[in-house]
Amino acid sequence: MTRPGSHDAADAAVSFDPLRPLLTRVAYRMLGSVADAEDMVQDAFIRWLGTDRAAVREPAAFLRRTVTRLCLDQIKSARRSRETYVGPWLPDPLVEEEETDDVTLPLMLALERLSPLERAAFLLHDVFGVEFDEVAKTIDRDPAATRQLAARARTHVRDARPRYKLEKEQGLQIANAFFAASRSGDMAALGALLAADVCMWADGGGKRPAVTEPVFGYDIVLKLHRSLAVLFGKYGSTLVHAGTINGLPGFVTREADGKLQTTALEIEDGKVVGIYVMRNPDKLGHVH
C-alpha cells in the first residue's frame, strides 16, 4: 500500500474536518476520556485516508460507524484498567461554553454500567438521533435486537436523566455560593445548599489526595467540607472559572499545589444532590 501524499491527506481532510467535532462528541460519550476520544477520531481519519472515498455515499454515517466500532474495541481495554483504578472513577471533565446535549455527568456514570453495545445503541439513537437501521449496521446486530438494547439501556439510565431543566443562571448562582461557602468555612451557608441525601465523589486517580470511596449523606458531606475548609483557609484555593462542566453547573479552581481541579454540582429543587470533584491531573490537561 502506498503512503498517502500530502495532497491526498488534504483532500481527505476537506470532508473529514467538518465532521470532527461530532465524531469527537460521539467518542467522548462512549469512552469518558478526552484523550482516548481524540485518538479514536484520529484513527478514523487514518482509515478515511485509506478508503475509496468516492465510493462512500454518506461520509458522516460511514465515519460515525467507524468511530463507534473503534470505541467498542477501546472499551474492552479501558474496563480492564478500571479494575485497578484508585478510588472513584469519573469521566474527564468538559468545561463547556454551551450545552450540546443532555448527557450530564450522572448520566455518563450510568452509561458506564451498561454493556458496550447497550451504550452504543442508546447514545447513537437517543442522543445523536441515528435511525435504528443505521445503529444496527454500526454495532452489527439486527434492528430488533438493537431496539431491545436501547430499551434496556433507557430503563437503566432513567433515574440519571435530568428530571427538569435547571436554568443556567440559577445553577451558576448556586455554584458560586457553594464555592464561596466551602472556601470561607461558612458551614451554615454551605449546609443550606445541600440536600439531605447529598453524595460526593472525588477522583484523584491515586495521583492526588482524594476520598477513596463516594461519601453519602448530609452530615458526612458537611463534616468533610468542614475539614477541607481548614485546608483551604491555610493553603488557599483560587476560582479560575465558573460555568458548565459536563452539563452541570460548577467551577474550576487552582488549588494550593498549583494544580487545577473541577467541581460539578448536580442540583434538584434548588439543592445540591451530587458533588463531583476531579483532581486527577491526568484528566485535567485539557482544562484551562
Last residue of a domain, one of 131, 161, 191: 161
Query: By the 8 A CB rule, do 204 and 276 touch?
Result: no
Query: By the 8 A CB rule, do 120 and 44 touch?
Result: no
Q: Tell me what pLDDT residue 2 has.
A: 43
Query: By the 8 A CB rule, do 95 and 81 touch?
Result: no
Q: Tell me what pLDDT residue 1 has.
A: 42
Query: By the 8 A CB rule, do 138 and 120 touch?
Result: yes
Q: Tell me what pLDDT residue 103 has.
A: 86
**Across-strand partners of 260?**
254
Domain shared by 183 and 218, yes or no: yes
Residue 90 counted as domain residue: no
Q: Tell me what pLDDT residue 79 has.
A: 75
Residue 77 counted as domain residue: yes
Q: Tell me what pLDDT residue 161 has.
A: 74
Closest C-alpha to 221, from 251, 265, 252 = 265
pTM of the predicted protein model: 0.91
Last residue of a domain, one of 161, 179, 203: 161
Query: By the 8 A CB rule, do 284 and 262 touch?
Result: yes
79-130 pLDDT tens trace: 777 778 889 999 999 998 665 667 899 999 999 999 999 999 999 999 999 9
150-198 pLDDT tens trace: 999 999 998 777 677 788 899 999 999 999 999 999 999 999 999 999 9
Domain hosting residue 209, numbered range? 168-283
Q: Would you state the cell numbers that stand for residue 137, as one nine-digit string?
A: 449496521
Enumerate residues 6+ apart whose C-beta is below 8 A from 145: 136
Enumerate residues 6+ apart whose C-beta is below 8 A from 105: 90, 91, 245, 246, 247, 248, 264, 266, 274, 276
Domain shared by 145 and 187, yes or no: no
Domain shared by 138 and 233, yes or no: no
Closest C-alpha to 197, from 176, 164, 219 = 219
Domain shared by 48 and 129, yes or no: no
CATH number at 233 reads: 3.10.450.50
Q: Total structural domains in the chain?
A: 3
